[in-house]
Amino acid sequence: MELRPGYKRTEVGVIPEDWGVAKLSTLCTAVLDCHHSTPVWTTSGAVVIRNQNIRDGKLDLSAPSFTDEKHFAERTRRAIPIFGDLVITREAPMGLVCMIPEGLRCCLGQRMVLLRISHDTVETRYLLYAILSETVQRSISVAGGTGSTVSNLRIPVLKDLQISIPTLYEQRVIAEALSDADALIESLEQLLAKKRQLKQGAMQELLTGKKRLPGFSGEWESRSIEELETNHYLRLARGRVISRKDIEQISGDFPIYSSSVHEGGLFGRYGNYMFDEELITWSVDGGGHFFHRPKHKFSVTNVCGYMRVNSSTLNCRFIADQLQHLHSKLNFNYQDKAHPSVIRKAYVLMLPRLAEQTAIAAILSDMDAEIAALEAKLAKARSLKQGMMQELLTGRIRLV
């Protein structure tokens, strides 16, 4: 393939002619392996960074781990992590990376490496994004397999990773653009979390009758699922056996709901076994969440339960929401804790009149629609950022 004018082929692919390629070791003043032992865990003290604390290139300390001063000193004998250092994981999984934030006193857990950046040659955020790039992550994946069961990124391999390097000024411009994209993603994540919390609060108040909507009054009835089914208000059943092989061979335009895909499904048609009505489904294995399924064509596997609401006095969406709310409050000891036989006996609904059920369901449905719109916006923002990384970190698009 003919090169674009102003570009060249290198070990990392096609990049601008005025860019260079450098080994990671030359971009760092130190590459320091972690202490090879499990930390002594305490309930407070110095923070220990673990693999699970690194997510999407950021350090997540929402669930921190700690060690005491003695073991902090042991684990930081070679270096104490400081603001601007990068941390990269060697295994389980490889290649997760984040930057040490300002003001954090911490040490490293197992399977991690500290990268102390040479600020004369590379901008910290640029190197962070470069390591997260598709090209470098592929190199890590290819070079990291050293054991029969666990892939491990060895220190010599890590040091030899090839990084494309523009000028410091262009590095900063690229890092700034990607940081802005990250800031948008983070703001959407925070807004989405807030909307989800608001919905949980609304469910807690509206589905229990603690808060009544204007214009509604009167007592709510307490009715068990078993009682409602006995009186033919609704009916519970399990789906049919549809093997993974059958699903993969099916072609069609309709979802098949299973325990592994709660809100989507594999598309196809399974013989004459097809619904075209409003139902409630849930995962039988492991006690999965309840989902309201509006009228559409779909099938349900045997690891799903489904509920058909027959009564004109019950709102299907309201029942699904209340079951989901109850599900989060109940603590079962059953191995098959969401089997229809368990649902019949364990769940007791609080039921206002149909008009109030419908009004509550409409409010929660609107909140779900708002959450779904935010989820779509967040997914798009993440996709756009990935595209930006691919274009900017290869120099296909230049910002200077």
Range 360-396 burial, b when 16+ CB lie within 10 A, else e: bbeebeebeeebeebeeebeebbeebeebbeebbbbe
The pLDDT score that the predictor gives to residue 161 is 96
Cα–Cα distance, 253 to 268 (Å, whole number): 6
The pLDDT score that the predictor gives to residue 162 is 96
The pLDDT score that the predictor gives to residue 92 is 80
Place of tokens 């130190």: 30
- Confidence band, pLDDT 50/70/90 cuts, at residue 85: very high
Instruction: Please say whether the structural domain 167-211+354-400 has been given the CATH code 2.40.50.100.
Output: no
Helix (H), strand (E) at residue 70: helix 69-75
Domains 167-211+354-400 and 221-351 share a fold: no
Angstrom CA distances, 33 to 116, 155, 158, 314, stand at: 11, 7, 11, 62
241 vs 234, residue with greater confidence: 234
For the stretch 303-314, pLDDT in tens is: 788 999 998 999
The pLDDT score that the predictor gives to residue 241 is 79
Which residues in 154-274 belong to E strands, given as ranges?
162-165, 221-224, 234-238, 255-257, 266-267
In the predicted structure, residue 146 carries a pLDDT above the cut 80: no
And the tokens for 137? 């992550």
Worst-scoring range by mean pLDDT, 27-41, 191-205, 299-313? 299-313
Which residues in 303-353 belong to E strands, given as ranges?
304-309, 348-351
Cα–Cα distance, 250 to 299 (Å, whole number): 12
Q: How many other C-beta atoms are found inside a 10 Å radius of the C-beta of residue 264?
A: 11
- Confidence band, pLDDT 50/70/90 cuts, at residue 300: confident
In the CATH hierarchy, which fold is given to the domain comprising 221-351?
Adenine-n6-DNA-methyltransferase TaqI; Chain A, domain 2 (3.90.220)
And the tokens for 199? 């919905």
Provide CATH code, domain 7-165. Answer: 3.90.220.20
Average pLDDT, the chain: 88
Angstrom CA distances, 320 to 254, 281, 289, 314, 355, stand at: 22, 8, 10, 11, 16
In the predicted structure, residue 254 carries a pLDDT above the cut 60: yes
The pLDDT score that the predictor gives to residue 271 is 52
Place of tokens 């002619």: 17
For the stretch 92-119, pLDDT in tens is: 889 999 999 999 999 999 999 999 999 9
Q: Where are the domains of the chain?
A: 7-165, 167-211+354-400, 221-351
In the predicted structure, residue 332 carries a pLDDT above the cut 80: no
Percentage with pLDDT > 70 across the chain: 88
For the stretch 179-189, pLDDT in tens is: 999 999 999 99
